[in-house]
């Protein structure tokens, strides 16, 4: 085995014998051996030579097949990601591996062959053409040689056919790989490949297609026929890969694409002609076989391969249409082939129903018809004669054609069939789930696909479709509907009306229809009427949600609530579940009128809760919970009488849900909406507290944390108290908040909001019980890895805390937690964010305003803890008080800084008074100039309100923290209105602070020693401001 070059001492060389032994064990049927070898296999994959050894084992035909499979799977999964690694592969080994890849053409095992296709394609992407120049020639040699054998010999040669199939599959895989390359080098390589292949592959297909086109029923049982079909199929897939890659690039200048356009057009035109030939041939062959009853293995195999081959033409046309819809309609014979497809749809529906089946042996396979309908639907928007803008196509549909198409869709494709009704009866909930998913799956089912084709016809040819549907509507509603056939046909018409609602709203009198027809049909007890009732509910939901009529007609609610509640004859669970969804769609609209709905509110809530309890599947329960949630949100406070009934059903649903996180999340959303609607919810605390605790418990939080936190926050913001007698209360959740605040960075932003809201409800109660752990958690979050936004939120929360509770409740805890020390450290740190430093000054100002003696105690205790002179602490605080003043943009914050420093001046501390002549006097005069205030003249001056000429505008919306429409909004507004910044006149406060400082420092003579250093102009300006008031 080749030695590793330049690998270093750390790379080991694999022992081929050990590798073979370990791979043999890994492919064993004995689970113990597989488990024992798995770790060693992973280790050997990091050895030099392992990949070459695995590939050699896979290519050795004498090795047992399971071992070969295991080897090539390991190589495919691991080696391709390290193909360029010099640590694990040498150049000689790469050459050997590439050479070995060309030995799998006659491989009989499909798994090994398919792995080899992936391996060759991935290696080719990196090595062709530079390091593997012979790749394409080698593959084409195999294809050419064996194709000559296939076409030239009257008898089938299995080995030659196998090699031909493998070669074509390999080429298809390489083309697919290079089709996905976006870099210029890969694009150039793809152009080079197409240059080499396009003509020869087209010639190969032309040769085989002429043989296939001459098929007769007896030839289907010949192995040669089956071989010709599969080989032609693979050749055509290679042609399709090249054509689809070229199609979007043909209009691009340069790149060598234009020279290939004639070939592309030739391929497309010949494909449209070949599709017609093969489709007609297949229909006739299958009809002949059905008449003769032939069903031998080779015949069925040939039919299956012919069916797949016909289907690949539809895939080709559909992909061309998707990539360039405007250009597709301009392709020669493009419109004709789409109309041909539609003709096959018409032909299929005019025949017996059994001709349409989802099977390759059907005369009209469902997949073929779906391709036809989707192609037709997408071309419709380009065929309309009324199209605005864009090039007009020569193809337009006549009125007769459009009307016939609509009739066909409404009578044959849109009606429920036997399979639909059997699914309805056998598993109603699953049937409802599947019906709701039709919006995503419409390309794969005939009925929803037919509905989308009708919608497109209605949109593009509304001058033809609207009158036809109007006339049909007037005819059908007047006719009696008593048997299953008439019921199913009426249901299809109602479906058509709902799908085309926006185009029919002007011609169908919806209110009259509701009162005169739908209301009576909704109360009908006929055994077939669940089919119509379900569609009535769906139709009303669709009509209202599409804004065709406002939801202010009581008849709408009469019908929906009756369908939701009715459990008598002529209805079933599908009707009730559909009514629940329609109820949500009607309520969740812009024009919803709660006053009209109020008489029905109680019944709606009762029935939705009942249905949630009765439903078997979590998907249906979740859908019902969404409907209930919309009812709660739109009802607002009117839901209060029903709150207890709703809440009583939640615990059982929660427990039964187990690990169905989507449903549990929806239940949390329902309770959140309920809390927000009824505001004061102390009666719900017994539900809220355990739900929050469970939703944030280990193993559960990863799925429910966001919804649980939203519920928690809504509960606090809408509560007037954290405590309640007898039962769980919101204050019981504070320890959980403290824990999350301390340890959960991911949820930190929302947790800070929750703590802040708790403080607004009852800060004294929170601090009396949890002051120290709360402060510890704040400090841990601030000193940890919290992002700056969250750190700022914590500092803002602490500012509120100092306003909402007296200093004795938080001062000591603040010191013991090291919060004041942390702020001093932030101030001393050169790289601290100006945003955080400014918030720190706001907090210090709040502390000083709240209790200046507490501020002095915190400075003294912090100096002792940090083993620093108090003067150093004061220096850091006062330096940044002045520096950060320029970062304060809002007048209220600048006044806060002025009030805070005035409070500190009043203490008479020499460190503060030393700053009076310059920094503090300058700060005050700046604020005096910006912040103009006056008190209204009144007999009692103390009682007169302060007029804030500087704050005529509202505080920023961020102050209310999205608490609008909750009780907390009023609490925040009250705090703002009573804030000393808004109620205290700055000039009076400063004057009083100076007088207090004069007394505290020892009298006028000592105080004048500080004042005398002031610039006379500045001092005069300050005196004028203070005396002007």
Asked whether the CA dihedral 715, 721, 725, 729 is positive or negative, the reply is: positive
- Separation between Cα atoms, residue 710 and residue 690, nearest integer Å: 14
Residue 7 has pLDDT above 60, yes or no: no
pLDDT at 89: 92
170, 306, 160, 175: which is closest to 232 by C-alpha?
A: 306
Cβ(794)–Cβ(781) under 8 Å? yes
> Percentage of the chain with pLDDT > 90?
66
Residue 681 has pLDDT above 90, yes or no: no
Q: What confidence tier does 276 reach under pLDDT thresholds 50, 70, 90?
A: very high
Going through 893-962 in order, the beta strands assigned E by DSSP cover 933-935, 946-948
- Separation between Cα atoms, residue 189 and residue 181, nearest integer Å: 9
Three-state DSSP at 768 gives helix
Mean pLDDT of 286-310: 91
Q: What is the pLDDT of residues 821-832, one digit of tens each?
A: 999 998 888 788
Q: What is the pLDDT of residues 416-469, one digit of tens each?
A: 988 889 999 999 999 998 888 766 678 888 899 999 999 999 998 989 999 999
- Report the 3 state secondary structure along 874-896: HHHHHHHHHHHHHHCCCHHHHHH
Report the mean per-residue pLDDT for the chain.
Answer: 89
- Separation between Cα atoms, residue 549 and residue 881, nearest integer Å: 62
Q: What confidence tier does 390 reach under pLDDT thresholds 50, 70, 90?
A: low
Q: What confidence tier does 192 reach under pLDDT thresholds 50, 70, 90?
A: very high
- Kindly give the pairing relationship between strand 933-935 and strand 946-948: antiparallel
pLDDT at 31: 86
Beta bridge partners of 948: 933
Cα angle, residue 727 at apex, residues 723 and 729 outer, rounded to 5°? 30
Phi, psi of 826 (to 5 degrees): -60, -40
881: which residues sit within 8 A by CB, 6+ positions away?
841, 844, 897, 900, 901, 919, 923
Q: What is the pLDDT of residues 482-525, one digit of tens each?
A: 889 999 999 999 999 999 999 999 999 999 999 999 999 999 99
Beta bridge partners of 934: 947
Residue 1002 has pLDDT above 80, yes or no: no
- Separation between Cα atoms, residue 399 and residue 9, nearest integer Å: 82
pLDDT at 388: 57
* Bigger pLDDT: 745 vs 244: 244
Segment among 404-418, 611-625, 912-926, 947-961 with least mean pLDDT: 947-961
pLDDT at 987: 87
758, 847, 776, 859: which is closest to 806 by C-alpha?
A: 847
Residue 5 has pLDDT above 50, yes or no: no
pLDDT at 6: 45
- Separation between Cα atoms, residue 405 and residue 469, nearest integer Å: 12
- Kindly give the pairing relationship between strand 364-365 and strand 356-357: parallel
Residue 945 has pLDDT above 70, yes or no: no
Asked whether the CA dihedral 734, 736, 739, 742 is positive or negative, the reply is: negative
pLDDT at 170: 97
CB neighbours of residue 68 within 10 Å: 24
CB neighbours of residue 686 within 10 Å: 16
Q: What confidence tier does 386 reach under pLDDT thresholds 50, 70, 90?
A: low
Let me know how many helices (H) and strands (E) the chain has, helices first: 50, 4
Cβ(58)–Cβ(64) under 8 Å? no
Burial zone of 254 (CB within 10 Å; 0-12 exposed, 13-18 middle, 19+ buried):
exposed
Cβ(247)–Cβ(322) under 8 Å? no
pTM score of the predicted model: 0.84
- Separation between Cα atoms, residue 709 and residue 700, nearest integer Å: 13
Residue 132 has pLDDT above 60, yes or no: yes
Cβ(233)–Cβ(307) under 8 Å? no
Q: What confidence tier does 154 reach under pLDDT thresholds 50, 70, 90?
A: confident
pLDDT at 946: 65
User: Of all helices (H) and strands (E), which one includes residue 794?
Assistant: helix 788-804
1025: which residues sit within 8 A by CB, 6+ positions away?
924, 925, 928, 987
Residue 899 has pLDDT above 70, yes or no: yes
Terminal alpha carbon distance of the chain: 99
CB neighbours of residue 960 within 10 Å: 16
> Percentage of the chain with pLDDT > 70?
95
pLDDT at 936: 44
pLDDT at 997: 86
pLDDT at 940: 46
Burial zone of 106 (CB within 10 Å; 0-12 exposed, 13-18 middle, 19+ buried):
middle
CA dihedral 201, 206, 209, 213 (to 10 degrees): 170
């Amino acid at each position: 085995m080749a030695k590793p070059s330049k690998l270093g001492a750390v790379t080991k060389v694999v022992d081929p014998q050990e590798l073979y032994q370990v791979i043999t064990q890994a492919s064993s049927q004995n689970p113990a051996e597989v488990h024992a070898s798995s770790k060693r296999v992973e280790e050997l994959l990091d050895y030099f030579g392992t990949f070459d050894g695995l590939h050699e084992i896979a290519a050795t035909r004498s090795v047992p097949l399971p071992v070969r499979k295991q080897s090539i799977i390991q190589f495919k999964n691991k080696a391709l990601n390290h193909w360029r690694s010099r640590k694990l592969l040498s150049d000689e080994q790469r050459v050997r591996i590439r050479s070995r890849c060309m030995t799998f053409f006659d491989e009989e095992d499909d798994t090994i062959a398919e792995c080899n296709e992936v391996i060759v394609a991935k290696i080719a992407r990196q090595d062709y053409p530079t390091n593997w120049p012979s790749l394409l020639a080698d593959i084409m040699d195999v294809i050419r040689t064996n194709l000559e054998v296939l076409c030239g010999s009257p008898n089938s040669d299995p080995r030659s056919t196998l090699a031909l199939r493998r070669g074509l599959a390999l080429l298809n895989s390489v083309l697919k790989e290079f089709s996905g390359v976006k870099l210029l080098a890969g694009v150039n390589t793809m152009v080079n490949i197409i240059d080499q292949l396009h003509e020869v592959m087209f010639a190969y297909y032309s040769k085989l297609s002429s043989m296939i086109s001459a098929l007769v029923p007896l030839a289907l049982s010949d192995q040669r026929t089956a071989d010709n079909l599969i080989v032609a199929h693979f050749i055509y897939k290679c042609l399709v890969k090249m054509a689809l890659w070229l199609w979007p690039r043909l209009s691009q200048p340069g790149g060598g694409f234009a020279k290939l356009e004639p070939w592309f057009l030739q391929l497309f035109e010949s494909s449209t002609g070949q599709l017609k030939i093969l489709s007609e041939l297949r229909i006739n062959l299958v009809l002949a076989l059905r008449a003769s009853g032939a069903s031998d293995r080779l015949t069925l195999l040939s039919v299956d391969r012919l069916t797949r081959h016909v289907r690949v033409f539809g895939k080709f046309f559909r992909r061309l249409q998707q990539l360039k819809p405007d250009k597709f309609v301009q392709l020669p014979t493009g419109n004709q082939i789409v109309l041909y497809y539609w003709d096959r749809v018409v032909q299929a529906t005019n025949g017996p129903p059994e001709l349409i089946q989802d099977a390759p042996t059907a005369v009209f396979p469902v997949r073929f018809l779906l391709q036809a309908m989707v192609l037709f639907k997408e071309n419709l928007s380009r065929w309309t004669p009324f199209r605005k803008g864009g090039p007009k196509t020569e193809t337009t549909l006549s009125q007769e054609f459009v009307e016939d198409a609509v009739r066909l869709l409404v009578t044959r494709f849109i009606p429920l069939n036997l399979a639909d009704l059997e699914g309805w009866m056998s598993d109603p909930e699953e049937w409802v789930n599947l019906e709701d998913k039709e919006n995503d799956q419409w390309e794969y089912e005939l009925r929803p696909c037919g509905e989308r084709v009708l919608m497109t016809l209605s949109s593009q040819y509304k001058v033809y479709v609207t009158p036809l549907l109007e006339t049909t509507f007037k005819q059908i509603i007047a006719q009696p509907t008593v048997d299953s056939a008439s019921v199913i046909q009426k249901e299809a018409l109602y479906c058509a009306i709902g799908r085309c609602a926006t185009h029919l709203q002007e011609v169908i009198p919806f209110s009259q229809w509701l009162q005169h027809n739908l209301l009576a049909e909704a109360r009908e007890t006929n055994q077939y009427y669940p089919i119509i009732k379900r569609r009535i509910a769906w139709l009303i939901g669709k009509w209202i949600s599409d804004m065709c009529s406002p939801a202010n007609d009581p008849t709408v609610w009469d019908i929906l609530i009756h369908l939701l509640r009715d459990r008598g004859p002529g209805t079933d669970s599908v009707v009730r579940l559909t009514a629940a969804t329609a109820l949500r769609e009607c309520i969740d609209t812009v024009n919803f009128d709660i006053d009209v709905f109020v008489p029905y509110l109680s019944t709606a809530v009762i029935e939705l809760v009942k249905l949630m309890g009765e439903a078997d599947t979590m998907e249906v329960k979740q859908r019902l919970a969404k409907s209930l949630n919309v009812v709660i949100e739109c009802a607002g406070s009117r839901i209060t009488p029903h709150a207890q009934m709703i809440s009583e059903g939640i615990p059982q649903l929660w427990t039964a849900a187990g690990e169905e996180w989507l449903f549990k999340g929806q239940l949390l959303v329902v309770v959140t909406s309920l809390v927000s609607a009824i505001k004061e919810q102390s009666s719900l605390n017994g539900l809220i507290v355990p739900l929050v605790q469970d939703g944030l418990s280990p193993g559960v939080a990863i799925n429910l944390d966001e919804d649980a936190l939203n519920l928690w926050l809504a509960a606090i913001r809408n509560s007037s108290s954290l405590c309640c007698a007898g039962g769980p209360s919101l204050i019981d959740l504070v320890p959980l908040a403290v824990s999350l605040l301390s340890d959960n960075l991911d949820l930190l932003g929302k947790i800070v909001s929750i703590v802040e809201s708790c403080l607004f409800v009852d800060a004294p109660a929170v601090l009396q019980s949890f002051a120290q752990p709360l402060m510890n958690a704040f400090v841990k979050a601030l000193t940890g890895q919290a992002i700056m936004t969250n750190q700022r939120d914590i500092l803002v929360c602490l500012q509120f805390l100092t306003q909402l509770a007296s200093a004795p409740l938080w001062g000591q805890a603040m010191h013991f937690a090291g919060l004041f020390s942390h702020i001093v450290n932030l101030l001393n740190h050169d790289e601290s964010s100006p945003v955080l430093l400014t918030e720190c000054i706001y907090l210090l100002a709040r502390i000083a305003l709240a209790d200046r003696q507490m501020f002095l105690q915190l400075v003294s205790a912090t100096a002792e803890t940090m083993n620093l002179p108090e003067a150093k602490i004061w220096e850091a605080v006062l330096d940044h008080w002045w520096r950060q003043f320029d970062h304060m943009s809002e007048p209220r914050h600048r006044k806060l800084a002025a009030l805070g420093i005035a409070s500190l001046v009043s203490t008479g501390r020499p460190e503060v008074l030393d700053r009076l002549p310059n920094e503090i006097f300058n700060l005050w005069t700046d604020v005096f100039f910006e912040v103009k205030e006056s008190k209204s003249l009144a007999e009692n001056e103390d009682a007169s309100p302060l007029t804030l000429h500087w704050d005529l505008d509202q505080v920023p919306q961020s102050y209310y923290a999205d608490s609008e429409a909750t009780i907390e909004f009023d609490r925040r507004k009250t705090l703002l209105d009573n804030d000393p910044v808004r109620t205290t006149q700055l000039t009076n406060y400063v004057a009083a602070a100076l007088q207090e400082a004069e007394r505290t420092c020892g009298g006028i003579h000592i105080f004048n020693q500080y004042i005398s250093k002031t610039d006379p102009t500045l001092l005069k300006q300050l005196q004028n401001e203070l005396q002007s008031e």
